[in-house]
Structures are given as C-alpha cells and as structure tokens.
C-alpha cells in the first residue's frame, strides 16, 4: 500500500472569544473569568480535540480566519506535558516577543553499551553508521519522536 504521510507544522490558535463560546457550549456553572491559566490551556486543547475539520480551519493561522497579531504578546503560561504539543497562553494586551518554539521530528537513539540516549534531526540517518558519542558503542533506534526545539 502506498500511504502518504504529510508532516506539517501548523500553528493553532484558540482566541479568548472562541474559548468563551466553547465554555458556554459546555454549559458550565463556573464563570469563565474564574478559570486559571492551566484550565484555559486545557480548555483550548479540548476544543481542538473535539473540533470538526471545518471548525479546525477557524483556528489555523494564515487560513483566512486567524492572524499573526493574535499570537503577539507576552506568554504568561505554557504546558509542555505532551511531547507532541507545545501549548502557550499569550496575553496580547502585554508586550512580548512571538513564540520561538516549534515542534520538530527527530530520531531517538540509545547506546546498547551505556544506555546513553539522544536525538538526531536527520530522520533518514542509518543508525549503523553512527556510534555512541560517549563510549563509541552501537546504537539502536528507540523512537521516531516529535521533540520541542528552540528556533534560536
Ligand atoms: Zn554509550
């Protein structure tokens, strides 16, 4: 079978207005204003997970709905708990620099000798051609992972 895998970096924005209406739709008694930063990020993740493909369009930057100025501001909280996502809460009323974090796909290798574990960016690399940087031992590919790296 010829399955096509498209790896694409997308930036998904859930605006405060979208969060408010999603919160309302859930029918919670609590006031939106009482939600903590952590709860806001969880709420956004839930909204994205439950969104249909067309709804998702209204969250993607550069697809006509969301614009870059909606993510310009100060990052006031972040959630790194899921290695596939990096979630940030941005206060657009405060001065700050745009996000410098992106998710990249990397190959995870482990040394058979000492257990040293590291990532390389070239996912096509043949592990047999590399040796452990610590003791020169043989390596095994332990994962094809998304990992957070800094753009700078
Ligand atoms: Zn080693």
116 within domain boundaries: yes
CA distances from 93 to 14, 69, 75, 87 (A): 16, 11, 11, 19
Distance 120 CA to ligand 1 centre (A): 15
68 is in which domain, residue-wise? 16-98
pLDDT band (50, 70, 90) for residue 124 = confident
pLDDT 10s digits, 31-53: 999 999 999 999 999 999 999 98
* Spatial separation of the C-alpha atoms in residues 146 and 106, rounded to whole Å: 6
Residues 145 and 135: their CA atoms lie apart, in Å, by 24
The pLDDT, as a whole number, for residue 98 is 66
Query: Is 21 in the same domain as 81?
Result: yes
pLDDT per residue as tens digits for the range 3-36: 787 766 678 999 999 999 999 999 988 899 999 9
Residue 110 C-alpha to ligand 1 middle, in angstroms? 8
Whether residue 121 has pLDDT greater than 80: no
Helices (H), 13-124: 16-26, 37-50, 53-57
Q: 137 C-alpha to center of ligand 1: Å? A: 5
62 lies in the same domain as 36: yes
> Is residue 139 situated within a structural domain?
yes
Classify residue 5: in a domain, yes or no: no
């Amino acid at each position: 079978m010829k399955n096509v895998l498209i790896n694409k970096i997308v930036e998904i924005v859930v605006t405060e207005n979208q969060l408010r209406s999603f919160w309302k739709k859930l029918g919670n008694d609590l006031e939106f204003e009482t939600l903590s930063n952590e709860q806001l990020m969880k709420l956004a993740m839930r909204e994205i997970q439950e969104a249909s493909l067309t709804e998702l369009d209204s969250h993607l930057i550069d697809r006509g709905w969301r614009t870059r100025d909606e993510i310009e501001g100060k990052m006031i909280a972040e959630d790194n708990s899921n290695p596939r996502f990096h979630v940030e809460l941005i206060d657009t009323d405060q001065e700050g620099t745009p996000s410098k974090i992106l998710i990249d796909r990397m190959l995870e290798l482990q040394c058979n000798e000492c257990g040293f574990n590291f990532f390389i960016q070239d996912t096509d690399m043949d592990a047999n051609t590399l040796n452990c940087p610590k003791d020169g031992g043989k390596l095994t590919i332990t994962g094809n992972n998304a990992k957070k790296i800094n753009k700078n």
